Amino acid sequence: MSGLAFMLRGLWFFRRSYLGVLAGSALGAMILLGALMAGDSVKQTLRQVASARLGKVDAVLVGGDRFFRSALADDLASRGAVATVAPVLVVKATASVQRSGRSLGGVQVVGVERRFWQFGPGAVSAEGEVPQAREFFVNEHLARSLELGSNETLVLRFEKPGMIARDAPLAGKAAELVALRGGVGAVCGDERFGRFSLETTQLPQATVFVPLERLQQALGLAGKANLLLLKTRKEHAELLGEITRSCTLADYGLTVGDVPLAKAAEIRSARIFFDRKVAAVIQQRFPAAQPVITYMANTLAANGKATPYSMVTAVAAAAAPFLAGPLDGVVVNNWLAEDLGVGPGQELTLDYYALDAANRLVERSARLPVAGVVPLTGLAADPRWMPDFPGVASAEKTADWDAGVPIDAKRIRAKDEAYWDAQRGTPKLFMSLEKGRELFGNRWGEFTALRVPASVAARDAVAAGLLESLTPAVAGLVLRDVGGQAQAAAASPVDFAGLLLGMSLFLMAAAVALTAMLFRFHIEQRNRESGLLAALGIAPGKVLRWRLLEGLCVVAAGSGIGALLAVAYTRVLLGLLETIWSGTGGQRWFRFHVEVGTLAGGITGFVGLMMLVIWLVTRKQARQSVSVRLAAGSEEVRRVRPRRVAWWAAGWGMAGVAALAGSGVMGMAGAFFLAGFMFLLAGLALYQWRLRWRVAAACDGLSARRLAELNCGRRTTRSLVVVGSLASGVFLVVAVAAFRKHDGDAWQERGSGAGGFGLWVETTHPANRGKPGQTADDPLDLGSARDHFGRVLPMRVGPGDDASCFNLNNVTRPRLLATEVAALAKLGAFPIKQVLPGCVKSWDCLREGGVMRAFVDETTLMWVLKKQLGERLIYQDEWGRDFPVELAGTLDGTVFQGSLVVDEARLLQHYPSAEGPRLFLVESGGGGPAAGRAELQRVLADQGAAVSTTSERLAAFNGVENTYIAIFHLLGGLGVLVGSAGLGLLTARNLHERRYEFAILHTLGVPGDVVRRVVRIETGQFIRWGLGIGLVAALVAIVPALSTGGIARSLAWIGLLVAVIAANAWFWSWLGYRRQIRSALSATREFD
Amino acid sequence: MAMIEVAGLSKIYETPGEALRVLEGLELVLAAGEAVAIVGPSGSGKTTLLNLLGALDRPSGGSIRIGGQDISGLSAAEAARFRNRSLGLVFQQHHLLPQLSVLENVLVPRLAGDWEESAAASEKRARDLLEKVGLEQRLQHLPWQLSGGEKLRAGVARALLNRPRLLLADEPTGLLDQAATERVADLLLQLNRDEGVTMIVVTHNAALARKIGRTFELSQGMLREVAR
């Protein structure tokens, strides 16, 4: 018989004994592999979502609110610069179902043509699948959200985008809503590119696909797009070069025309005001270019007379020879001089609209001396001085002006209309360029035209020169390599495998400890065999190898079973995780996936761990002398004397006290948790000491209690494993329970996470500068409903992605939320937890420093960004240039989770064209948040506003953490169950091993009740000590959490948990007792 | 030439609070092929002595030479090899492995490997030995199917598989009745004669001791030969 055959024979013979080891291994492997598989599944799901979101798109050219020719796509294609290219027009809208009236705000409307579908993740769609002229395609998420049936008609309402930000003065209508109606032609799933989105999130975005041409017409943007999808293998720089070479001035929003009267070529911007960057490039290319600023004066007044609504121009004398040298005042044309009765040496007043720091339209006034009068002839009578102000340039009459600022038509006189008829926008007043910049410069720019003298360059040469000098980035068109970024972002910031492994650690440890204990039982059962083999001269190493091989076979088989069970277990875990993301419409969206490498690595790692444990257990047996083994003496050899164990207990206790003392250095929570853990170890050492001390103590009369104590101390390791498992279980479950978040009802308090604001409002369209009649404190334009609410805090939404715990993607640039932080500082709103050293613990900190500073929720900083205070994140400004944002402070559990809060003024420095506020925190009125939400939803229906209460938002964030804690509890609870099962097994094993001891007692006339009492006392001791040690240690660990509030609820929850654990432990030990007590007592009859 | 030379042998067990001296300055010399019995009261150290002679335990002092080899300082692996090649051990509680048949139990020492004898030759010897101890009808039986005497005889057959120079038997008849004891004693003496194996039998059984012949009494850690 070979060694292998001998080993296999043993394996089969002891199969029942090995069953427990097999089950323990299967459980351990299931937990480990389940965690790894869940990690793989999350990663794969995110990769698939990224792929579904972007399909075959490698790069995009993003215009945002800047529109370029859709023909740019054709130009790029004809150059062979890209494999595939598609122009897209993307806007936000509110979608309503005509039949049901259901509506949804913040819907992504994507204007597409045939080429768009070629980018889908699946096979290229047939042309027949393109939405027809009066047809929309919608994605599954929108269809589900709006409960779309077949043959539904959808109405899209969106704000017509302006060429210039609607925030800007003279930008035309403040808001122009248009509606588009169409039948739902198809519902696009992920395979049909229904998930298309540039936002880095795994959550689907409600989307409607509209024929590009129809959307262009509806928006008044014929032939325009604001997004190019590109499929190419070219490197970024090379691709950018190709795009630059394909761009025309129209793509940059520039035109060049002749101004014969000025003998110059004039460059104009479709955005009216030249971006400062663009102006700088032009001036660098053509140093002789003369800037022009033309603006609207509300009133020009002098001598008690007033001329309404006139154009005024600021220009250098070089560009307007009729001004005859540097101006020391203003020059008026003779029409105005006559109208106001002013002449050189007199003063006039100029009233005009400007935006204040809070972006409110205010009327300002300037007193200007009149330096001269020019006749209304020649260049001074050229209407080309005025740019094509939206709503003005094409107006028939002055009274028809729709400049986006309040116009009082009653003030317009017949002579004003006559002037408009004859001279159109010819300025009535000229001033120096410097004065014009001072008065009319704004964050969108200063100049309304740049004139290059014909002597320098003709029109065509100017156009060519501009094309050579400009780049898409300068014009605000940003090329992004989204393909690579998406895959990088799909690497979740939360390592779910690690997270779940961490959560399962105790359960794993319990399973491993139980398996080790069962293996030890098995090994003890074969003590004599081991001794015999040694006595017969089989080398110890060989016996050890056989044992290990047997163990390997069992563990490997257990791991195989565990791997199969892990599939189901993973699905349960994923199901639990999915409850976090209710935004997916309750669908199961995590795709089960496992990598071969992960599976192999996991199984290998687990088998390795188990073999290490088995080796330790087996080695201990091999170290016992042959004679002891032959005598089947499975009693433990005690190496550590009781006094030494007492020292260990004291040492761990001291370490715990030291950890408490160090709370100032490592923080309260960390210090108390560490201290709790140290007290746990101290408690276990104390228990060990007690076991041995009681055994060694002099017998002062034999009783059932004494017998029980002797039995507990007889196999110290077994007793310690059981008490340790219970204590650790109680410690972990209770300690974690205390961190359970309770939904706060303190939202009214300024220092709460809601900052005293009851409502969170997000609108589809930005609230731009106020409409006529709109009060400054009514940015949402609530009108008469305004009185029902308290303070409204508007916030601009800057670039970046949602980095809250709802987003599984790796977000490196969280969304910027900008507001007037001085107001927050004044209110003392929101809990600021920590700020940079040297900073004041106030919102004012964000206005200081050389770079843009931000406050971030602590959860986002710690778990998503994984950064420290003082570190900087790099963002790209409006022109694609990098700039840093310094993390200057943390907020404690606020509604701002997932965003960086910055000062509005700082944001506008980097994004001068930023749209108006789209996010509002509103103090609910007397009716409370629920009533306030209903009213706001009604009033803001047209704006597609999503209104939620801040309590709901905080509860949702807390819900995520509580879900993790619930999973931890579930796994920890399973661990306690396994530990309790160990107690049951131990009870059964002890009774089995001691059946002849009981038989002796019986023979000596000791009643069976005494035996039962002994067993009860032993079990009671294990449970008492296990629960006691765990509970004391846990209570130390949770002191900081208890002090933060919700004590009563936390304690009640903890009490319930401990009671359940105690009951469970009793149940299992009772089960073990029931299983063995009969056979143990029946052994007494055999003995008889 | 002496098969066993024991000089100044002592064994002390350290227990919490005291040192238990079981053997102290024990001397013993036995010639090859001799058969002796060791008797003594319970707790006198008979089994301890046997464990030391069988390299199952280490002495606290003194030396043990078996066939000229000092075994008192052997490592665990060397001691195992020594037992596997040179010793036969018979236990009171037979220690048959429950998962193996009687024949396989006898062949267990071969598991140590590196036997010069082929597997087939070992199996033949095992069958011969089992025949010699009267178990030729029980080859494929499992231990639980044997009586106490049969188990002991199987254990004796196993002890002889390696053709030991020295056979150590610890209370071989302790659990047997008078008739079975007689048969086992005859068997051991026959093997001693046939195989020429040196034999030490530890026993409480005076009849068995007498039957073996030369007898030593172990008392207070010392051996004293008992006159016939």
Q: B1-24, pLDDT tens digit by residue?
A: 688 999 999 998 876 667 788 888
Instruction: List residues bridging with A887 in a β-sheet.
Output: A854
Q: What is the mean pLDDT of chain A?
A: 83
The Cα angle at residue A800 between residues A178 and A902, in degrees rounded to 5: 100
Interface of A with B in 695-724 (CB under 8 A): 696
The number of CA neighbours under 13 Å toward the Cβ of A686 is 16
How much is the average pLDDT of A252-274? 91
- Which tokens is A297 given? 């004066």
User: Best-predicted range by mean pLDDT among A391-405, A518-532, A791-805?
Assistant: A791-805
Tell me how close the Cα of B57 comes to any Cα of chain A, in angstroms.
7
Give tens-digit pLDDT for A1029-1087. Answer: 988 888 887 776 665 555 566 677 777 877 888 888 888 878 777 777 767 666 555 54
Q: Which of A957, A975, A1007 is the last residue of a domain?
A: A957
- Is A476 within a domain? no
Q: How far apart are CA A434 and CA A314, in angstroms?
A: 8
Same domain assignment for residues A268 and A182: no
Q: Identify the H or E element spanning A144.
A: helix A140-145
A768 compared with A981, residue with greater pLDDT? A981
Q: Do the domain assignments include residue A752? A: no
From A603, A627, A651, the end of a domain falls on A627
Give Cα separations from A42 to A48, A765, A809, A1057, B140 (angstroms).
Answer: 10, 34, 10, 31, 58
In the predicted structure, residue A61 carries a pLDDT above the cut 90: yes
> Is residue A747 situated within a structural domain?
no
The residues facing B36 across adjacent strands are B200, B214
Q: Is B162 left (phi over 0), alpha (psi -120 to 50) or beta?
A: alpha
- Summary mean pLDDT of chain B: 86
Task: Specify whether A608 is located in the same domain as A662.
Answer: no
CA distances from B197 to A165, A191, B69, B89, B189 (A): 111, 86, 17, 12, 10
Q: CA-nearest residue of chain A to B85? A: A537
The interaxial angle of helices A995-1003 and A1008-1037, nearest 10 deg, is 130
CATH number of the domain encompassing residue B121: 3.40.50.300
More confident residue, A160 or B151: B151
Distance from CA of B82 to the nearest CA of A (A): 7
> Is A982 among the domain residues?
yes
Chain centroid to CA A535: how far?
Answer: 66
Binned at pLDDT 50, 70 and 90, residue A448 comes out as: very high
CA–CA separation, A299 and A405 (whole Å): 13
Residue B5 lies in a domain: no
Q: What is the pLDDT of residue A461?
A: 93
Which position has the token pair 């008609």? A153
In-domain check, residue B4: no
B23, B9 in Cβ contact below 8 A?
yes
A439, A533: one domain = no
pLDDT value at position A1050?
63
CA closest to B88 among chain A residues: A536
Residue A224 in this model has a pLDDT that exceeds 90: yes
Among A150-154, A237-241, A311-315, the least confident range: A150-154
Chain A residues with CB under 8 Å of B87 CB are 537
Residue A778 falls within a domain, yes or no? yes
Q: What percent of chain A has pLDDT over 70?
A: 88
- The answer on A731 and A764 residing in a single domain is no
Residue A575: its pLDDT value, please?
83
Give the pLDDT confidence of A527-540 residue by residue, as tens digits: 888 888 888 888 88
Under DSSP, the state recorded for A258 is E
Rounded distance between C-alpha atoms, residue A732 and residue A973, angstroms: 9
pLDDT at A484 over 80: no
The closest alpha carbon to A273, from A431, A462, A441, A69, belongs to A441
Residue B64 has pLDDT above 70, yes or no: yes
Query: Which pLDDT score, from 0 to 100, does residue A215 have?
Result: 93
Task: State how many domains chain B has.
Answer: 1
According to the model, what pLDDT value does residue A158 have? 85
Parallel, antiparallel, or unpaired for β A429-431 and A305-315? parallel
According to DSSP H, which parts of B54-147 are helical?
Answer: 76-86, 102-107, 119-132
Smallest CA–CA separation between B228 and chain A, in Å? 32
Residue A635 confidence (pLDDT): 47
DSSP count for chain A of H helices, then E strands: 31, 30
Does residue B2 lie in a domain region? no
- Average pLDDT rounded to a whole number, residues A996-1009: 69
Q: What is the pLDDT of residue A1046?
A: 55
Name the DSSP class of B45.
S
- Examine the domain organization and report whether A896 and A912 are in the same domain: yes
What are the backbone dihedrals phi and psi of residue A186, each rounded to the nearest 5 degrees, phi first? -160, 155
Q: Is the pLDDT of residue A856 over 90?
A: yes
Q: How far is CA A879 from CA A62, A163, A275, A885, in A?
A: 11, 17, 10, 16
**How far apart, in whole angstroms, are the C-alpha atoms of residue A299 and residue A307?**
6
Q: Name the pLDDT band for A357 (thresholds 50, 70, 90).
A: low
d(CA A267, CA A387) in angstroms, rounded, equals 10
The pLDDT, as a whole number, for residue A1087 is 45
Tell me whether strands A135-139 and A177-188 are parallel, antiparallel or unpaired. Answer: parallel
Domain that holds residue B220: 32-61+73-226
Cβ contact (<8 Å) for A14 and B99? yes
What does the block give as tokens for A610? Answer: 């188990």
Answer yes or no: is pLDDT of A505 > 80. Answer: no
pLDDT score of A1088: 43
- Joined together, the tokens standing for residue A1065 give 């432990």
In a domain, B16, yes or no: no
Strand partners, A875: A883
CA B91 to CA A74: how far, in whole Å? 97
Q: Do A538 and B109 touch (CB under 8 A)?
A: yes
Half-sphere exposure in the Cβ direction for A991 (13 Å, CA): 31
Residues A555-578: what's their mean pLDDT?
88
- Grade residue A306 by pLDDT with cuts at 50, 70 and 90: very high
Q: Are A527 and A629 in contact (CB under 8 A)?
A: yes
Do A190 and A288 belong together in one domain? no
SS3 string of A675-726?
Answer: HHHHHHHHHHHHHHHHHHHHHHCCCCCCCHHHHHHHHHHHCHHHHHHHHHHH
Contact between chains at A539 and B80 (C-beta distance less than 8 A): yes
Compute the average pLDDT of residues A695-713: 73
pLDDT for position A495? 72
B115 domain-assigned: yes
Q: What is the pLDDT of residue A1004?
A: 66
Distance CA A580, CA A554 (A): 38
Residues A494 and A471: their CA atoms lie apart, in Å, by 38
Count contacts between A and B (CB, < 8 Å). 85
Treating both helix axes as pointing N-terminal to C-terminal, what angle do A642-661 and A668-696 enclose, rounded to 10 degrees?
A: 170
**The last residue of a domain, from among A898, A923, A957:** A957
Mean pLDDT of A806-812: 78
**Banded pLDDT at A124 (limits 50, 70, 90):** low
Q: Locate the DSSP E strands across A695-823.
A: 759-762, 792-797, 815-819
Q: Do both A8 and A74 map to the same domain?
A: no
In this predicted structure, the answer to whether residue A636 has a pLDDT above a threshold of 50 is: no
Indicate the number of domains in chain A: 5
* pLDDT of amino acid A815: 92
A481 lies in some domain: no
Closest CA to A875 of A920, A808, A926, A811: A811
Sheet holding B35-39, edge to edge: B87-90, B166-170, B198-202, B35-39, B214-219, B222-226
Is residue A233 pLDDT above 60, yes or no?
yes
- Average pLDDT, integer, range A363-376: 92
Q: What is the pLDDT of residue A603?
A: 92
pLDDT reported for residue B209: 87
**CB within 8 Å: B112 and A542:** yes
pLDDT tens for each residue of A917-947: 889 999 987 778 888 888 888 888 777 788 8
A278 contacts A259 by C-beta, under 8 angstroms: no
Residue B223 contacts residue B26 (beta carbons within 8 Å): yes
B193 domain-assigned? yes
Asked if A562 and A33 touch (Cβ cutoff 8 Å), the reply is: yes
Which ipTM value was assigned to this complex?
0.81
The reply to whether A86 and A210 lie within a common domain is: yes
pLDDT tens, position by position, A666-680 = 666 677 778 888 888
Residue A538 touches chain B, beta carbons under 8 Å: yes
pLDDT confidence tier of residue A302, bands split at 50, 70 and 90: very high
Q: Do A386 and A444 have their domain in common?
A: yes
One domain for residues A281 and A231: no
Residue B56 has pLDDT above 50, yes or no: yes
**A412 backbone dihedrals φ, ψ, rounded to 5°:** -80, 125
Determine the Cα–Cα distance for residues A693 and A690; give it in Å rounded to an integer: 5
Closest alpha carbon within chain A to B98? A13
Q: Which residues pair with A815 in a beta bridge?
A: A899
Backbone angles phi, psi at A879, to 5 degrees: -110, 15
* Cα separation, A432 vs B137, whole angstroms: 128
Q: Give the Cα separation of B160 and B165 in Å (integer).
A: 9
**A349 vs A974, more confident:** A349
CB A875 within 8 A of CB A813: yes
Q: What is the pLDDT of residues A23-35, one digit of tens each?
A: 888 988 988 898 8
- Tell me whether residues B77 and A627 touch, CB distance under 8 A: no
Question: A163 with A75, same domain?
Answer: yes
In a domain, A358, yes or no: no
User: What residues form DSSP beta bridges with A314?
Assistant: A293, A431
Closest CA to B155 of B182, B178, B187: B187
Question: What confidence category does residue A557 fall into, taking pLDDT thresholds of 50, 70 and 90?
Answer: very high
Q: Any idea of the CA torsion for A425, A427, A428, A434, to the nearest 10 degrees?
A: 150
Whether residues B95 and A532 touch (CB distance < 8 A) is answered with yes
User: Which of B16, B51, B84 has the CB atom closest to A536's CB atom?
Assistant: B84
Both structure tokens of B12: 């002390």
Chain B residue numbers touching A630 (CB-CB < 8 A): 56, 91, 95
pLDDT tens string A681-692 = 999 999 988 887
Contacts of A813 (CB under 8 A, 6+ apart): A799, A800, A801, A873, A874, A875
Looking at the domain assignment, is residue A479 inside a domain?
Answer: no
Contact A273, A447 (CB under 8 A): yes
Q: Which residue has the higher pLDDT, B35 or B112?
A: B35
β-strands A872-876, A224-225: how paired? Answer: unpaired
Question: Position B71: which residue type?
Answer: I
Name the token pair of A325: 């040298």
Q: Out of A535, A540, A541, whose CB is closest to B56?
A: A535
**CA of residue B88 relative to chain centroid, distance:** 5
Q: Are residues A428 and A396 in the same domain?
A: yes
Q: Which of B47, B80, B98 sits opposite A538 (nearest CB)?
A: B80
At A637, the pLDDT band (50, 70, 90 cuts) reads: very low
Assigned token pair, A536: 């017969």
- Tell me the H-state helices in A526-641: 527-535, 540-578, 596-623, 626-630
Taking residues A320-333, report their average pLDDT. 83
Q: Please tell me the predicted confidence (pLDDT) of residue A634.
A: 46
* pLDDT tens-place string over residues A621-630: 677 777 767 7
B15 assigned to some structural domain: no
Q: Do A537 and B99 touch (CB under 8 A)?
A: no
Q: What is the mean pLDDT of residues B178-200?
A: 83
Domain that holds residue A658: 636-742+961-1088
Helix pair angle (A459-469, A276-285), 10° resolution: 120
